[in-house]
Amino acid sequence: MAYAPFSFWFVTFISLTSFILLLNQSIPKHATKLGLAFGLGWFGAGISWVHVSIADFGGIPLVGSMTLMLLLSAYLALYPAMSSYLLTKYFPPKYWPLALPFIWLFIEWLRSWLLTGFPWLSLGYSQIQGPLAGWFPIMGEFGVTALVVLICCTLATDLANKKWLASSVIVATLWLSGSTLNHYQWAKPTGESAKIAMVQGNIEQVIRWTPEQDQPTMNKYKNMTADHWNNDVIIWPEAAVPQLEPIATDYLTAIDTLATQTQTGLITGIANYNFETKQAYNSLIGVGQKLQQEGSDSARGQYYYNHDNRFSKHHLLPIGEFIPFEDWIRGLAPIFDLPMSSFSRGSYQQANLQAKGYYFAPAICFEIAFPKQIAANLYHNTNFIITVSNDAWFGGSHGPAQHLEIAQVRAKEFALPVLRATNNGITAFIDHRGHIQSRLPQFKAAVLSDRVQLVNGHTPYRVVGDWPIWCVTLVMLAFAWRMKNKTNKTNKTNKQT
């Protein structure tokens, strides 16, 4: 309930504090079970939307889809279980506020890395509407997670000991400072703006990769764009062009020429398949006017097959875009043989896309949840972060709203506008402060056009990343370890005396 679309940010503090209080009152051998139970509730409810894609598009019966969702939730629940085990095994409760932030961050880092990583529903995301939001530009979502854990652990410890001073001071200090920081603008508008349109085609997932629907889909995007060539840049969502790029070159060349003649840059998602290397890439490409000074007298624009104004997705989604242990599990069930589930990985760091002189740092779908990858693709001249997605897989669930929330946090962390173009929602412009500037409703074919301010300036988080919070929490852990050993030594001496 703390995450979008509900956004009751305070629920995180109630839930996590209650969980730590239960740990405090339990015997150590039950801590892992408590952590597992907490994780099952956290992820079982939070990512229940995964069931929609498995049941509706994976070709698996309801019982099977529910089982797979529970297995995924159980896997994710192992991480809070590990945190609970390490905390209770090595530290007495009075040192938990010092020890748990580092332990929690380390385990969450593992979750974002193992098996390609799944950092969804990290605690910090729940605070984009709360008083800690001002800390995002300073320490990122990772650091805000540490602050949440510190607050909840201190609250639980004080509740257990029926004391209120430490928790009151920490809560008041962090919340008030966060609220104050939220009014500071780390990046200032330059006074210039770009007029950008995003096209939401609302193509049903069941017909998305049906060959006979290729041309109707491409015609739809072209027709929906027809009245919007007066924008500086037009953005189509992930895989908006359903044909493989080598097959769609005539269509792309026509769009490229039209965009150039109207002095417009256009960015679209498309799947590229190299017939020589037999490698496929989930890509974004730029067509039309690339540079600001280009005129309208050009017969055609920048596009030719495999031109360099492109981005290939690096962080692929397991099952959806690549099959782990493919030789073993491909063919076991329809979900393991979905269309476009054998993509190759693009480079971790790539050049920005260019459109009409503007520079866009891309993230395709799931990649927006990885701030380090976003940071690696931000350059001195980057104007916007662009993220495209096809959330039609998840129907009317709360998955797309959570996805939008993650994009808001990225905008807040890096003080850059985020442009989120999707197939069926939620398409939205997010300003450099993480606020939704304008948006389209879900499940509606429409075009969203708005002016987006250009900004100048860097946040502390963009400059230093996660290192400061790692260092601070590690020092806290070391201090807790030293104090624990000192207390044990004193107790041992007293017993001998």
Residue 32, CA distances (Å) to 23, 35, 78, 416 in order: 9, 5, 9, 40
Q: What is the dihedral of CA 129, 132, 133, 137, to 10 degrees?
A: -170
Is residue 59 within 8 Å of 70, Cβ to Cβ? no
CATH code, 190-461: 3.60.110.10
Q: Does residue 281 register a pLDDT over 90?
A: yes
Task: State pLDDT tens for residues 6-47.
Answer: 999 999 999 999 999 999 988 777 999 999 999 999 999 999
23 vs 20: CA distance, rounded Å = 5
Question: Residue holding tokens 């897989």?
Answer: 393
313 is catalytic: yes
> Which tops the pLDDT comparison, 298 or 181?
181
State the pLDDT at residue 295.
Answer: 55
Tokens of 453: 């301010």
220 vs 130: CA distance, rounded Å = 40
Task: State pLDDT tens for residues 218-251.
Answer: 999 999 999 999 999 999 999 999 999 999 999 9
66 vs 54: CA distance, rounded Å = 9
Catalytic residue among 365, 405, 412, 413: 365
Task: State pLDDT tens for residues 423-473.
Answer: 998 999 999 999 999 999 999 999 999 999 999 999 999 999 999 999 999
pLDDT band of 287, cuts 50, 70, 90: very high
Number of Cβ within a 10 Å radius of residue 223: 9
Catalytic residue among 238, 245, 321, 367: 238
Q: Write down the H helix ranges in 209-280.
A: 214-225, 249-261
Q: Does residue 55 register a pLDDT over 80?
A: no
Contact partners, residue 282, CB within 8 Å, separation at least 6: 238, 239, 269, 271, 312, 313, 316, 321, 340, 343, 364
pLDDT band of 320, cuts 50, 70, 90: low
Residue 196, CA distances (Å) to 230, 232, 300, 382, 435 in order: 9, 6, 21, 16, 17
356 is catalytic: no
Q: Which of 116, 166, 189, 250 is nearest to 433 (CA)?
A: 189
State the pLDDT at residue 343.
Answer: 83
Judged by average pLDDT, the poorest of 111-125, 307-321, 381-395, 475-489 is 307-321
Contact partners, residue 377, CB within 8 Å, separation at least 6: 349, 350, 352, 361, 362
159 vs 146: CA distance, rounded Å = 20
Q: What are the beta bridge partners of residue 384?
A: 360
Q: Angle 253-384-345 (CA atoms, 0-180°, nearest 5)?
A: 65
Catalytic residue among 313, 356, 405, 412: 313
Domain spans of the chain? 10-184+466-496, 190-461
Question: Residue holding tokens 């360099």?
Answer: 308
405 is catalytic: no
Q: Which of 419, 355, 423, 363 is nearest to 217 (CA)?
A: 423
